[in-house]
Structure 1
Amino acid sequence: MPQRPLATRLRLNDVRYEIRGELARRARELEARGETLIKLNIGNPGAFGFQAPAHLREAVSRGLPASEAYGHQQGLPEAREAVAAVHRARGASQAHADRVFLGNGVSELIDLSLRALLNPGDEVLLPSPDYPLWTAATILNDGFPVHYPCRSENAFLPDPEEIEALVTPRTRALVLINPNNPTGASYPRELLEALVGIARRHGLLLMADEIYDGIVYADAPFQPLAPLAGDVPCLSLGGLSKVHRACGWRVGWAVLTGDAARIGDYHHAIDLLGALRLCANVPGQFAVQAALQGADSISALCRPGGRLYDSRQAVVDACAASGHLDLVAPAAAMYAFPRVVGDAATGFDDHLFAVELLETERVLVVPGSSFNLARRDHFRITLLPDSETMAEVFQRIGRVLARRAESAPASARSVA
């Protein structure tokens, strides 16, 4: 008698992660056939020739002999103190090593921190567009994601009044991604202060994904959230993956600040979940102190003449020269989030566009709707290729959009 297929968790039906989904699988098939692709779907510096700084590699090498035993579930003491010291230097006076948690990347810590917080049906306020792991982790931890809009018309910054209108008795947390993935927005101090006010009035946990904190362009500021939050419970997340170009080492951290009486139970909950997974990757933790106390290796890449800056500028210039694209220039992070406009936008579907771009031009991008965005006229690319490659990418994108513009019905074309 034939056996039924194994059933999977129903909530997975509500989870999407197109960054490594259907399009990425198709890209692997094309590569297996010998095709050469330009893959712009993942912010993975090592895949584009970036390397972790030498002093981080040396620190890991020195730490290897002491890496064979399990570590503390919160992380190596010296690594935690280095993280806490950075946050105190930024103005978060309540940052202490015993409130720092090291994890296997920020991704694991997002999951653990939501699991420690949510009961079935609890709500989490999330940006739209968001980094989709946040929505997925909320769903898989039995929570309900409530998305607040970050519109291109407002430079992808949220409206505090719209956020506060979404708060209900079931709301537990307000998530910020700053600097933002996928849009490249960097939130000003006044906006962050308004969001802290919402959390204070409604008893919410602030959760600040700040993994891109050192990647800013054209003198854009980065304002950490914890110093503004003060006694409001705040979990700030960062790591080695982006600023220090060490994605594969899987080293992230979370810093819990706020009134001790309010965060005590939550601290113990995260600690319990950390203990259940025993510990984070130990060798990589030896790089944390070196990364945070050593030479600045990212700022030069983000200034004029630096590779990230120049690639960003190539994207800005290409979009400005195109009649089919509109771009809010990214102020930070390592992504751009162009919008398709004009005749090419007639009947536009971001997923079908991404498929056509991959199949005909061998360029892999991520549809904007994959970031929990209702409208389907954006796509995300990473800024990691060099500027010459970016110029070539936009020539190929331009060919696809020109074909779409030409095929638009005459009655639907925009009038000059």
Structure 2
Amino acid sequence: MKTEPNLSIKGILRMLMANIDDEKNMRVISLGMGDPTAFSCFTTTSIAEDAVLDALTSQKFNGYSPTVGLPQTRRAISEYLSMDLPYKLSPDDVYITAGCTQAIELAISILATPNANILIPRPGFPIYDICAAFRNVEMRHFDLLPEKGWEVDLDAIDALADENTVAIVVINPGNPCGNVYSFQHLKKIAETAKKHKIVVIADEVYGHLAFGSNPFVPMGVFGSTVPVLTLGSLSKRWIVPGWRLGWLVTADPNGILKNAEIVERLKKYVDICGGPATFIQAAVPQILKETSDVFFTRTLGILKHSADLCVKKIKDIACLTCPTKPQGAMTVMVKLNVLMLKDIIDDTDFCFKLAKEESVILLPGVTVGLKNWVRITFAVEPSSLVEALERVKTFCHTHSYEPKG
């Protein structure tokens, strides 16, 4: 089974679901999509629900919002993000988007100049490549190093960057790897970007979802070193991906982006984009202000338990290896040894046959840039995670060259 280049995650998952054998009458368990709302152990806080309901029933937010976003929403997000920074953001630094996906499209579009290229991690998030293809922006891929906790290969940055490089993408906490970068590593990335005079696109959609030894450090901390476009959303931390409330923020206390006219391009571009629903925007100040730490702590506890369980179960599957235990986000990359399996060509073949035979969905690593790896989502209720990985173990046993027992 071949897949098209630059196919989206949702696209490949649809194809995998279509390959399920309904005659087996097995419950389908998807460890492929990063949507925790599919499982009952992940729910948003009642504060968020009440805030949306209050905004909707007030009948004050049924009209259009300003294209940059409601003033109170921009102010709330600037104050929320400023709590982790050594300087204060202005509401004017914030642009409200329809989820983080639109923020990615916006960032690439405003940086798209003739012959421009952007440096992007491998493995990474395929939406960047898809958006770049529409804007005729070249994507140059640098490797993340699994043996170093998926850190950026800084030597590769130096080799790839040239006079046409406009930005580097940093995804932290990491999708698809589950990495959380240290302060020192982020500082080195910022210094490297400064050396090459490029902008950092900081994809922080999983911001604060860190449960390992490294705390979450926003890239905007280094905004005085290098201009940062911070991308984020309510989706993951508040477990509301369907609300499509995201943001692009210019973390640039030295005003370099204004001098480069990037800010003016931002303002013009959002005039042609449709943002999230006005009443969802109106709920944001209450959501950010009133959500308790208890809610966040509970979510992190579930994610850590699931991540630990996932790694433990993978150790029992001979053909799969997890090089680095996830420290954040909701996914982990696992290496697949196809040489141990008969009639399995590669990771795509593995995932399609697994779906057909065991009704379990994993994402082929080639989708995120690594052949013969798979991405596993662990934001799943524990019983479903255990059952799914037991089925993967059975599948690997069935296809092993030397099945035992």
TM-score after normalising by structure 2: 0.90
Whether 1:389 and 2:387 are equivalent positions in the alignment is no
Which AA in structure 1 matches 2:266?
A: I
1:313 to 308, 313, 320: 308
Deviations 1:120-172 (A, max 9, x none): 43110000000111121122211001000013222211121221221011100
Maintained 8 Å contact 1:74/1:102: yes
Aligned match for 2:35, one of 44, 49, 56: 44
Distance in 1 separating the partners of 2:21 and 2:94: 41
What whole-Å deviation, never above 9, does each CA across 1:92-116 have from its counterpart, x for those lacking one? 4152110101110010111011111
**1:21 and 2:42 aligned:** no
Change (3 A) 1:378 1:101: same
Q: Which residue of 2 aligns with 1:406?
A: 401
**1:366 matched to which residue of 2?**
363
Question: For 2:12 and 2:212, how far apart are their aligned partners in 1?
Answer: 35
- The match for 1:79 among 69, 73, 76 is 73
Cα 1:260/1:340, change in 2 over 3 Å:
same
What code does the residue aligned with 2:373 have? H
Aligned residues: 390
- Quick check: 1:220–1:332 contact (8 Å CA) kept in 2? no
**Structure 2 unaligned regions, length at least 5:** none
Q: CA deviation at 1:344?
A: 2.4
Is 2:281 the partner of 1:281?
A: no
Q: Whole-Å Cα distance in 1 between the matches of residues 393 and 150 of structure 2?
A: 24
SS, match of residue 212 in structure 2 = coil
Aligned equivalent of 1:335: 331
Tell me, in whole angstroms, the C-alpha distance in 2 between the residues paired with 1:14 and 1:325. 25
Taking a change above 3 Å as real, the CA distance of residues 345 and 186 of structure 1, as seen in their structure-2 partners, is farther
**In structure 2, what is the Cα distance between the partners aligned to 1:90 and 1:164?**
29
d(CA) in 1 for partners of 2:375 and 2:117?
27
CA contact (8 A) 1:301 1:308 kept: yes
Counterpart among 299, 302, 305 of residue 301 in structure 1: 299
User: CA offset at residue 290 of structure 1?
Assistant: 2.5
Aligned to 1:9: none
- Give 1:40's aligned amino acid: L
3-state SS, counterpart of residue 21 of structure 1? helix
Counterpart in the other structure of 1:270 = 266
Alpha-carbon offset, residue 220 of structure 1: 3.0
In the TM superposition, what whole-angstrom CA distance separates every residue of 1:207-239 from its partner, at most 9, and x where no partner exists? 000111121123431111111231521111111
The answer on whether the counterparts of 1:179 and 1:222 sit within 8 Å (CA) in structure 2 is yes
Separation (CA, whole Å) in 2 of partners of 1:205 and 1:279: 24
Q: Distance in 2 between matches of 1:407 and 1:352?
A: 20
What does 1:50-89 correspond to in 2, within 5 Å?
Answer: 50-64=42-56, 65-89=59-83
Give the deviation of 1:87 after TM superposition: 2.2
Supply the distance in 2 between the matched residues of 1:279 and 1:355 (Cα, whole angstroms).
36
Deviates more, 1:83-92 or 1:139-148: 83-92
Answer yes or no: is the 8 Å Cα contact 2:67–2:270 preserved in 1: yes
TM-score by length of 1: 0.88
- Contact kept in structure 2, 1:23 and 1:355, CA below 8 Å: no
Q: Is the 8 A contact 1:110 1:134 kept in 2?
A: yes
Q: Cα 1:168–1:369, aligned 2, differ >3 Å: closer, same or farther? A: same
| Paired residues of 1:71 and 1:280 also in contact (CA < 8 A) | no
Partner of 2:286: 290
The alpha-carbon distance between structure 1 residues 220 and 190, as it changes in their structure 2 partners (threshold 3 A), is closer
Structure 1: any 5+ residue segments left out of the alignment? 1-12, 409-416
The equivalent residue for 1:115 is: 109
Aligned residue in 1 for 2:354: 357
Note if 1:195 corresponds to 2:189: yes
Counterpart secondary structure, 1:400: helix
Q: Which amino acid aligns with 1:191?
A: H
The aligned amino acid for 1:290 is Q
Paired residues of 2:341 and 2:401 also in contact (CA < 8 A)? no
> What's the counterpart of residue 206 of structure 2?
212
* Separation in 1, partners of 2:20, 2:163: 49
Cα distance between partner residues in 2 of 1:385 and 1:280: 27
